[in-house]
Amino acid sequence: MIIEQIREDRARALEANDPTGQVCYLATVDADGSPSVRTLVLREVSERSVRLFINASSPKWRALSANSACQ
């Protein structure tokens, strides 16, 4: 399962004091169909979910609010 792989990768990065263990990337498509990839803070990865920090006033939040499909 993909979440399990994310958890394992993140744990290894954090154990190695790699700052990228707190980072992830989110790809969305804007209203005009343009793709966009954004860097986000990865707050928590549990067995069933991934928690990200997204500021409610940011363009990435607006894109996700308009179209929740992301990768």
Strands 35-45 and 50-53: antiparallel
> Who contacts 71 (Cβ-Cβ below 8 Å, separation ≥6)?
26, 27
* The predicted structure's pLDDT at residue 17: 95
* 9-26 pLDDT, tens digit each: 989 999 999 988 888 888
Q: What mean pLDDT is predicted for residues 25-38?
A: 84
Sign of the alpha-carbon dihedral angle for 23, 24, 30, 36: positive
| Other Cβ atoms within 10 Å of 23 Cβ, number | 13
- Token representation of residue 28: 């969305």
Q: What mean pLDDT is predicted for residues 24-45?
A: 84
Domain ranges of the chain: 2-66
Q: Are 71 and 59 in contact (CB under 8 A)?
A: no
Q: Evaluate whether the domain defined by 2-66 bears CATH number 3.55.50.30.
A: no
* The predicted structure's pLDDT at residue 1: 65
Q: What mean pLDDT is predicted for residues 31-39?
A: 84
* The predicted structure's pLDDT at residue 58: 83
Q: What mean pLDDT is predicted for residues 34-63?
A: 83
